[in-house]
Structure 1
Amino acid sequence: MNVDIILSAREIFPDRVANKTVVVIDVLRATSVMVTALANGAKSVIPVMHPEEAFNIKKELGEENVVLGGERDAVPIEGFDYGNSPFSYVPEVICDKTLVMTTTNGTRAILNSKGASKVIIGAFVNDVAIVKALEGEEEVVLVGSGSYDEFTMEDALCAGKLAMDLKEAYDARLTDVSVAMSLLYHTAKGDLHKIAAQGEHYSRLAGLGYDSDLDYCFRSSVFEIVPVFYGGSIVLENMNG
């Protein structure tokens, strides 16, 4: 197994993901929300680039079948049902519904990865399940969505943890950037929040009062599920056969 890391949505070029298994990570908070929604019974998650697309899908599928969620600059989008907090997507809200999402960074990273042989949705909340699911893969690329096309500390830490765990589990060969992010995680693992809080995006969310989200999104292995982007929708792996 070879493991590479890409550190922002802007750096996802076709030749870096073609014929490879990609894990898209947006710890704060898109992929954490997607994993949570599916674990709480969502039928699927549809990532889109623009709010207008989300409104159109809701009209097509029916108001009663769709929940709109997302953000721009960490703020909920006008006209959407919910923002980008995992606590919004409890079972009574999301069970048997389709979540249509657009976010500043995470949904773009997913859509930019369409050329991969497989796209998995990952975060700290399902990290252990992701490592198990990658057994036997030859080429893995961990994609940190970043923020405004720049590196973010939280995505780098999660990618570093996954790379380190893949090295330990399968003796994976790590690229230089994967080694560097693994070392970052190893240095920070005693207090991830202390390191991540030095990052701009974490600080912005803290300033907006999302302390509970920040605590939740750094919890390891909350769920044992592996969402996969398949045919335009994100579903649980065992649903696409």
Structure 2
Amino acid sequence: MTLRALDEWLYVGAGREAAQAAASLQAEAVVFDVLRACATLTTLLASPVQTPVWISDSVEACRQVRTRFWPDALLGGERDSRPIPGFDFGNSPVEVLRRAAEWTGRRVLLTTTGGTRTLVAGPRGHTWVGSLTNLTAVIERVRAWHRTGRRVLLVAVGGRLDDDPRANEDLYVVLYVLWHVWPAAVRAWSPDLAARWERHQGEPDWPGVLQATPHGRELIDLGLGEDVTWIGASVSLYPWVPVVGTDDPPDPHLAPVLRLQDDVPPA
């Protein structure tokens, strides 16, 4: 199952197909790839690189666009969590933070195994980047949409909807957002998780949550634990929710991601 309706206005989905469904639902899709694409994207947008940041579902499209159109562009990303040969950087917010000063004004293309592929699949202008790094801004925006009768689709990039959320960081964060919008839906979905959040009113132990998931452990085993730790420690660092824009790309496999100039939740 890739999509579940919670009421007439609120949906939860998993993967690329769910993001594609946002168009037919006429919904705002918020895509969560917690480890690590959405954290890398938000960090790039907070850096001095040229905006928008371009995302792609294709390694070859990134290479072709640099060769044919943007020879000075930086290529970043991963496949199966590993850096892509010939690219300038990996899918790593920590690497972006360390190197961003070198990249001032440079155009960036990012492609990842799941996150950018799912973001590109959603409707342009209505697909948003959700991460721990902008968690409060996401909650405020989703709450405002739901309150005003706007359809919202929360998309977990990894896994399936019937996963144990404690083993799927994307679904865990989706449910945490949902907890702040409609707690009864979380009580029905995952009573144990809802009971835990009711007992502990503060934030979850986000570094511990991420380190305990299979993907978190995989990244640690690959020597990428610094990203896992940083993301868990950088909750709500950025006060905005990037959107996949409508500018025409030089290749259909690309899409622009940008911060809105007036990033205030709709009234």
Q: TM-score range by the shorter chain?
A: 0.7 to 0.9
Matched, 1:186 2:197: yes
Given candidates 214, 233, 240, the residue that maps to 2:256 is 233
CA distance in 1, matches of 2:95, 2:113: 18
CA RMSD of aligned residues (A): 3.2
d(CA) in 1 for partners of 2:117, 2:88: 20
Deviation at 1:186? 2.7
C-alpha deviation, 1:210, in angstroms: 1.5
CA contact (8 A) 1:21 1:119 kept: yes
Q: 1:230 to 1:215 in 2, by over 3 A?
A: same
TM-score by length of 2: 0.75
Quote the Cα distance in structure 2 between the aligned partners of 1:149 and 1:111: 21
**How does 1:121-200 map onto structure 2 within 5 Å?**
121-134=129-142, 135-137=144-146, 138-146=150-158, 153-167=168-182, 174=185, 183=194, 186=197, 190-200=204-214
Q: How many residues align?
A: 234
Q: Does the C-alpha gap of structure 1 residues 150 and 176 become closer, same or farther in structure 2, counting only changes over 3 Å?
A: closer
SS of residue paired to 1:209: coil
For 2:113, the equivalent position in structure 1 comes to 104
1:103, 1:149 → 2: CA distance?
Answer: 21
Aligned sequence identity (%): 22
Label 1:203 to 1:149 Cα distance change in 2 as closer, same or farther (>3 A): farther
Equivalent-residue separation in structure 2 for 1:105 and 1:181 (angstroms): 28
Alpha-carbon distance between aligned partners in 2 of 1:180 and 1:26, rounded to the nearest angstrom:
24
Per the alignment, residue 59 of structure 2 pairs with 51
Partner Cα separation in structure 2 for residue 148 and residue 55 of structure 1: 31
Q: Are the equivalent residues in 1 in contact too, given 2:145–2:151 (CA < 8 A)?
A: no
Q: Which structure's relative contact order is higher, taking Cα pairs within 8 Å and 6+ residues apart?
A: 1
Matching of residue 202 in structure 1 with residue 216 in structure 2? yes
Distance 2:211 2:88 in 1: 29
Letter of the 1:222 counterpart: L
**Separation (CA, whole Å) in 1 of partners of 2:67 and 2:129:** 26
* Alignment partners' CA distance in 2, 1:48 and 1:22: 17
Unaligned runs of 5+ in 1: none
1:3–1:140 Cα contact (<8 Å) kept: yes
In structure 1, the residue corresponding to 2:35 is in which secondary structure?
coil
* Structure 2 Cα separation of the partners of residues 107 and 234 of structure 1: 10
Aligned twin of 1:120: 128
Task: Judge conservation of contact 1:87–1:213 (CA < 8 Å) in 2.
Answer: yes
Aligned to 2:250: none
Deviation at 1:11, TM superposition (A): 4.3
Partner of residue 221 from structure 1, selected from 233, 236, 250 = 236
Task: Determine the C-alpha separation between the residues in 1 that align with 2:162 and 2:76.
Answer: 23
Aligned to 2:225: 211
Instruction: Report SS of the residue matched to 1:97.
Output: coil
1:41 pairs, out of 33, 43, 48, with 48
Larger Rg: 2
* 8 Å Cα contact 1:10/1:149 also seen in 2: no
Shift of 1:58: 1.7
